[in-house]
Structure 1
Amino acid sequence: MQNPSPATPRERTPARVPLHNVPLGILASAKAGQRNVLELIPEIATRQPMLSGRTGKRWHMVMEPGALKRVLRDRVEDYPKSTVTKLILEQAIGDSLFVAEGAEWLWQRRTAAPVFSHRNVAALAPVMTAAAERSSARVTASNGRAADIFAEMVAATFEVISDVTFSGGEGFDRNAVHRAIEDYIAQAAKVSVLDLIGVPGWVPRPGRMMAGAAMREMRRIADTAIEGRKTAPRHEVPDLLDLLLAGEDPKTGRTMTTSELRDNLLTFIVAGHETTALTLSWALYLCAFDKDVQDGARAEAQAVLGTRAAVAEDVAKLPLIRRIIDEALRLYPPAAFLSRTAMAADTLCGREIRAGDTVILPIYALHRHHMLWDNPDQFDPSRFEEPNAIARFAYLPFGDGPRVCIGANFALQEAVIILATLLARHRFTPVAGKEPKPVMILTLRPQGGVWLNIETL
């Protein structure tokens, strides 16, 4: 009998979360939430428009694009971020743009939106190009052996976000802030059983109490840097802090206080480097998984770049690189599990929603839904060749509606610049027995890192 030939990448599927097939009680849900939030999603969620149940509180998982449009855009005021989300995030980023609701959110959004204009994002591209060069040099140092690409991408994107947030670094201890963020995610960002059964937020959660000192120190460092910048000369190319200091709400003229500036800058730092690092790590893992896609992307990057690093003007000339990023965001969306609290009675998919119900938006299940995507667990960047053919609310790596991610263009530009630079200069192949495990705590991370063999060309 002949041995079966090995499966090709098109027949195999890259790493995925094992979704459960039996109902989970409160204790099992708490354990799953501590281990991997995505294990709270049942497999049937990838085949049904909506699921409902009760685990201490009534909950609904919504995967139907029309219902998601209603939650995220049409009736966004009736579906604010859930209490659990706020409990997890407020300790780190206060009442910032990401957490605030209603009028408090609206004036901050109006003030911050011009900061991320196309012009300002393009002006910050040289920082991304310089980070791509340094990252490529560090990858070259690992030529001929395996390296954890996730650790490298975290380093590269943290360089970018700290340079474009506090350029020059006056009074800003980057290492201390980075350590505080890592400690916070490890200790405080997990779902507690107290969250699941609806215990009020004023009841202490042990993990979040342990992270409190690091968070206070991080805020102190940021406050000191902001106060110092207020009297310092402006940079020739304004960074995010310069732009926010100069910003004001066009309707009210209100400007941000030091604490408001700090909370929003820390939001940009936490979200801005973590999510892009994850996108790049998963994209490189997928390129190593599928040699043909990687070879095509390398040819594209080399044809555009030659031997130099990518710059802002190259982004539009690298469509395959962009499609790889889009597909990585589909398979491994950093914000893979969102939740909202219904504030008013409603109907979704013909089902009753009561005030106080938890409405879960499992983006991981949405992006792998069998009614919305062909071969949803397979890596196939070609599905983004005609982006207009994809239902708008079937693909939500950055959310949608008025609260769509304010830094989406910034993140995509950075990801294309770094990925193109690395693929043009290096070849990545899998390390046997080292497949990453997708685990979501605050974001969808590769547990154990993304270990790849590196060959510098």
Structure 2
Amino acid sequence: MPAGAYAPPAPPLAGRIGWLRLLAAFRRNALAALPEACLHEPVVTLRLPFGGAMVLACTPEAVRQILVSGTDAFARLPAGRRVLGPIAGRGLVLAEGETWRRQRRVLAPAFTPRTVPLMAGHIARAAQASAARLDATLGQPVDLHAEMQRLSLDIAATAMFSLEADTFGPRMRAMVSGYLGGLGRPTIADFLLPPGLPTPLSPRRALFRRRWTALVRGIVAARRAEGAGTEAPRDLFDLLRAAHGDGPDSLLVDEIGTMIVAGHETTASTLFWACTLLARSPGIQDALAREAAELDLGEAGAAAALPRLRLARAVVQETLRLYPPAHVIARRAARGGEICGTAIPAGATVMIPTWVLHRNPRWWDRPELFSPARFLDGPEPDRHVYLPFGAGPQVCIGAQLALAEATLVLARLARDHVLAIDGDRPVLPVATVTLRPDHSPLFRLARRRPA
């Protein structure tokens, strides 16, 4: 192992796995259900007890076949609608076919590269408030998982609405965190039961849906009361409202709710895991601070600083490799066919195990190591091996904004503070909708001295 290189702990892959172990793994941590065969075989098939199959597609060729050339043959899972429907409703993340294409065209203007400078100021303002909160904890134990969740929600609120999150932030944080840590955790019933049948969680998820929609509608009403920008868009709300035009208000609410949750949870997860990696990699942490030391990361200078934060961006990219927010990408075979020569029956659940693809030594050099340099010095990774935002036509529409947000926040954090973790207990990822830690370790921060 190279001097100073850190290999973060990870749950081991499974050996031979049957349906009983699969069921147990879904209850504890779905990462433990991913078989070791995914490292060697292009397609791994797991037979389910009540008929049907779960197919794991494990090579870039298989990924291309599912996400690029076979988008009509592989539809979104009914399980995804059960799990994400209470938050996303009819939003883009769950839309299909022509409905998806229409909504994607409508939303695209709000997520072009020209939007990044507008968002950078909102990100910098929220990062400044977070830095002030962290300054008050210097030398004391601090829960950075909770702070990153608060910060990412503040960014989502200010970037979406130009509103401070103090009034609705605590309620939204509690709802999102509670849902994703409980009702939003996929269960075996979500996958096995036919789409028309309710699962044991369906009534509680429906209740959450009503509460969540009411909250987002209230925030939208508050933003509308503030009025529109006089000359140019102030935030994503202005952009989305202009894009939707006279479209149904309920769809706008669904899209906004989806963007808030997606931006909040995935960014909070990425920032937390980046903090754990940097706390165990002081040399990279110091280099990150040196890169950011002379840059203006405030509201006025954040957009101009972004292209110069090469190491910070590489740290974010490497964190997304080791801890991809979507640890699997799931589809349903709309009709019978084959993947890489393996027959796939109609109705089969087809999963791309991003977690395994990102850690497979066939595609990555020393994949167990935290090594941001692989995104600085080496060739660009194959787009069908590196999938933090998916691939193909349905790639995440907000990917560039998410990268910009995490890059700016991480640069500010490393420039101002030295991070260390209390204790040696390993922090292991647990698969929910995203990858969450099995516990929230306590960090200690010190003020970084100028070089």
Q: TM-score, normalised by structure 2?
A: 0.92
Q: Given the alignment, which residue of 59, 71, 75 partners 2:66?
A: 71
In structure 2, relative to structure 1, the CA distance for the partners of 1:424 and 1:308 (3 Å cut) is farther
Report matched runs for 1:218-229 at 5 Å. 218-227=212-221, 229=223
Report matched runs for 1:343-362 at 5 Å. 343-362=334-353
Secondary structure in structure 1 of the residue aligned to 2:430: strand
Report deviation, 1:193.
2.9
The answer to whether residue 25 in structure 2 is matched with residue 29 in structure 1 is no
Q: Given the alignment, which residue of 7, 14, 17 partners 2:11?
A: 17
Report deviation, 1:166.
2.5
Secondary structure in structure 2 of the residue aligned to 1:313: helix
Aligned partners of 1:69 and 1:393 also within 8 Å = yes
Secondary structure in structure 1 of the residue aligned to 2:445: strand
Q: Deviation per CA, 1:14-63, whole angstroms, max 9, x where unpaired? A: 121222113132x3222211211212201231333221121242121112
Q: Deviation per CA, 1:327-380, whole angstroms, max 9, x where unpaired? A: 000000011112100112222121112221111011000000121111111111
* Structure 1 equivalent of residue 237 of structure 2: 241
- The worse-fitting range, judged by mean Cα deviation, of 276-285 and 239-248 is 239-248
Distance 2:135 2:202 in 1: 39
Distance 2:414 2:164 in 1: 30
Q: Which amino acid aligns with 1:319?
A: R
Distance 2:97 2:355 in 1: 27
Distance 2:283 2:129 in 1: 27
Distance 1:336 1:230 in 2: 37
Report deviation, 1:184.
1.5
Secondary structure in structure 2 of the residue aligned to 1:124: helix
Report matched runs for 1:124-143 at 5 Å. 124-143=119-138
* Structure 1 equivalent of residue 32 of structure 2: 39
Give unpaired runs (5+ residues) of structure 2: none
In structure 2, relative to structure 1, the CA distance for the partners of 1:75 and 1:302 (3 Å cut) is same
Distance 2:243 2:351 in 1: 34
Secondary structure in structure 2 of the residue aligned to 1:394: coil
Aligned partners of 2:154 and 2:165 also within 8 Å = no
Secondary structure in structure 2 of the residue aligned to 1:52: strand
* Structure 1 equivalent of residue 306 of structure 2: 315
In structure 2, relative to structure 1, the CA distance for the partners of 1:124 and 1:7 (3 Å cut) is closer
* Structure 1 equivalent of residue 266 of structure 2: 275
* Structure 2 equivalent of residue 445 of structure 1: 436
Distance 2:173 2:196 in 1: 28
Report deviation, 1:309.
9.3
Report matched runs for 1:411-422 at 5 Å. 411-422=402-413
In structure 2, relative to structure 1, the CA distance for the partners of 1:232 and 1:131 (3 Å cut) is closer
Secondary structure in structure 2 of the residue aligned to 1:453: strand
Report deviation, 1:410.
0.8
Aligned partners of 2:43 and 2:58 also within 8 Å = yes
Aligned partners of 2:38 and 2:44 also within 8 Å = yes
Distance 1:171 1:88 in 2: 28
In structure 2, relative to structure 1, the CA distance for the partners of 1:159 and 1:387 (3 Å cut) is farther
Distance 1:8 1:391 in 2: 27
Report deviation, 1:221.
2.3
Distance 1:307 1:71 in 2: 42
Report deviation, 1:117.
1.6
Q: Which amino acid aligns with 2:44?
A: L
In structure 2, relative to structure 1, the CA distance for the partners of 1:307 and 1:233 (3 Å cut) is closer
Distance 2:70 2:188 in 1: 29
The answer to whether residue 396 in structure 2 is matched with residue 405 in structure 1 is yes
The answer to whether residue 327 in structure 2 is matched with residue 333 in structure 1 is no
Q: Given the alignment, which residue of 56, 61, 67 partners 2:56?
A: 61
The percent of aligned pairs where both chains have the same amino acid is 32
- The worse-fitting range, judged by mean Cα deviation, of 101-110 and 388-397 is 388-397
The answer to whether residue 99 in structure 2 is matched with residue 108 in structure 1 is no
Distance 2:299 2:261 in 1: 29
Report deviation, 1:310.
6.4
* Structure 2 equivalent of residue 251 of structure 1: none
In structure 2, relative to structure 1, the CA distance for the partners of 1:259 and 1:385 (3 Å cut) is same
In structure 2, relative to structure 1, the CA distance for the partners of 1:48 and 1:377 (3 Å cut) is farther
Distance 1:124 1:224 in 2: 23
The answer to whether residue 388 in structure 2 is matched with residue 394 in structure 1 is no
Q: Given the alignment, which residue of 30, 42, 45 partners 1:52?
A: 45
Q: Deviation per CA, 1:420-452, whole angstroms, max 9, x where unpaired? A: 011001011222134322001110111212432
Q: Which amino acid aligns with 1:29?
A: L
Distance 1:171 1:331 in 2: 33
Q: Deviation per CA, 1:113-140, whole angstroms, max 9, x where unpaired? A: 1111222221121110011111111111
Q: TM-score, normalised by structure 1?
A: 0.91
Distance 1:230 1:32 in 2: 45
Q: Which amino acid aligns with 2:420?
A: T
Distance 2:301 2:409 in 1: 7
Distance 2:278 2:266 in 1: 18
Distance 2:158 2:138 in 1: 27
Coordinate RMSD, CA, aligned: 2.3
- The worse-fitting range, judged by mean Cα deviation, of 374-383 and 442-451 is 442-451
Q: Which amino acid aligns with 1:100?
A: A
Q: Deviation per CA, 1:113-170, whole angstroms, max 9, x where unpaired? A: 1111222221121110011111111111121133121111111110010112222369
The answer to whether residue 108 in structure 2 is matched with residue 117 in structure 1 is no
Aligned partners of 1:284 and 1:428 also within 8 Å = yes
